[in-house]
Amino acid sequence: MLEVSIEKTLGNFTLQSSFISGKGVLGILGSSGCGKSLTLKCIAGLYSPDKGAIKLNGKELFNSDSKVNVLPRRRNIGYVFQNYALFPHLTVYKNIAYGVQHLDNAKRHEKVLEMISKMQLNGHEKQFPSQLSGGQQQRVALARTLITEPELLLLDEPFSALDSHVKQILEKELLSIIKKNYHGIVLLVTHNIEEAYRLCDRILVFDKGTSVQIGEKEEIIRYPATVSAARITGCKNLFEVEVLGEEEGYIHIKAESFCLKAVKRKSELHTKMMAGIRAQDLRISSENKENPNTFECQVTDEIEGIFSTTVIVNCLGKNLQVEVPGSDLLLTHCKEQKQKLWLYIPEEKIFLMNVDQSHHGMTMPVVN
């Protein structure tokens, strides 16, 4: 188990990182410059936190109170950098062997050949990094790291330098390799929510240097607990609401000029809260089906995508984004005929968050 609770200030930026992770892949998600990579560097020992503690499987790696700061090479942590950081003057074989120089020749040779086989690098032993594809370089970097049998594997945006058409192929490769050959703790840094969802078991959300929410990936996406987590995970429809009351598992909320019914999930409710609903969860129809949370709306703008269109609709003075399939002819037909459109907001898709999400001091992120 990895336990992290640290602070680090660099210039006018302050990192407040607090979380616990067990075995499996934890995605660290956030925008550029929010402290994701700095967190990895502190865990690896490349930076020393100003205060706090880091513990791995019961062993203290850093503790500002007891003055513990284990050297990076003694932490038994594997680190794969964005650019893989392979030695350009060494062959594939020698790059992989670099981490086990302390072993005798026979044992080292045996472990390197075993790792080459696991990583499907047979036939590339004598090649240099410049002669390899991006995927092959990635496998060499992983092999060089995993051969040391680390307790913790750190992956710092391993796909950031790859073209989109090969990224998903290499994602599947990487996930397969890790599942088959590594059974420890994995931290994977990314700013891409879809990448985090595909590769990770759980997600930790970072915002402006602070860890704000951690949980199962499905829960993080469906029910973000903070406004910043909602924004980072791609929710465009966020608005302040007033809680009017509750009945039989539902709550009634007022958002500016219209009232909504929502499924109650939070045990603690305040008079003023923030509500969110994702664009893909909203529904547009040419018929008023008399469902709760159904309102007349007008299309004000469209953003065309390859497979879907994001439609901006005005609903009682509130602009909302709705994602519709690219083949959906409803909007075109209704606009041509100047028919009324109706917006349905499913009550089970609405999530509520506290209005004030400021962070003071070192606190654990919200746990789902």
Summarised one tens digit per residue, pLDDT across range 171-182 is: 888 888 888 888
Question: Helix (H, G, I), strand (E, B), or coil: what is residue 333?
Answer: helix
Cα 331 from Cα 354, distance rounded (Å): 35
> How many C-alpha atoms does 58 have within 13 Å on its Cβ side?
0
pLDDT given at position 178: 85
The 10s digit of each residue's pLDDT in 292-308 is 899 999 888 888 877 78
Task: Determine how β-strand 51-56 pairs with β-strand 152-156.
Answer: unpaired
Is the model more confident about 81 or about 329?
81
pLDDT at 161: 63
CA distance 120 to 351: 45
CA dihedral 41, 228, 204, 362 (to 10 degrees): 60
Q: What is the pLDDT of residue 180?
A: 85
Write the CATH number of the domain with boundaries 283-344. Answer: 2.40.50.100
Does 99 score more than 90 pLDDT?
no
Of 327 and 89, the one with more pLDDT:
89
| Distance between CA atoms of residues 242 and 231, nearest Å | 20
- Would you say domain 2-225+360-367 falls under CATH 3.40.50.300? yes
How far apart are alpha carbons 19 and 289 in whole angstroms? Answer: 46
pLDDT, averaged across the chain: 89
Q: Output the CA–CA distances (angstroms, integers) from residue 284 to 237, 316, 354, in the order listed.
A: 15, 15, 28
CA distance 122 to 268: 58
The ranges assigned to domains in the chain are 2-225+360-367, 283-344
**Residue 98 confidence (pLDDT) above 60:** yes
The CA-to-CA distance between both ends of the chain, in Å, stands at 18
**pLDDT tier at 326 (50, 70, 90 boundaries)?**
low
Query: Which amino acid, 320?
Result: L
Between residues 287 and 368, the one the model is more confident about: 287
In whole angstroms, give the CA distance from residue 167 to residue 158: 10
Q: What is the pLDDT of residue 288?
A: 83
Q: Which of 68-72, 203-207, 298-302 shows the lowest mean pLDDT across its residues?
A: 298-302
pLDDT at 5: 98
Q: Residue 304's pLDDT is what?
A: 81
pLDDT tops 80 at residue 79: yes
Sign of CA dihedral 223, 254, 309, 281: positive
Q: Is the pLDDT of residue 365 over 80?
A: no
What is the reported pLDDT for 363? 44
pLDDT per position as a tens digit, 27-44: 999 998 999 999 999 999
- Residue 278 predicted with pLDDT over 90: yes
Whether the pLDDT of residue 358 is over 50: the answer is no
Cα separation, 160 vs 140, in Å, equals 17
Q: In whole angstroms, what is the distance from residue 130 CA to residue 153 CA?
A: 25
Average pLDDT over residues 93-102: 94
Task: Give, to the nearest 10 degrees, the angle between helix 134-146 and helix 105-118.
Answer: 140
pLDDT for residue 334? 55
Burial class (CB in 10 A: 0-12, 13-18, 19+), 123: exposed
pLDDT over threshold 50, residue 66 = yes
Q: Is residue 251 pLDDT above 80, yes or no? A: yes
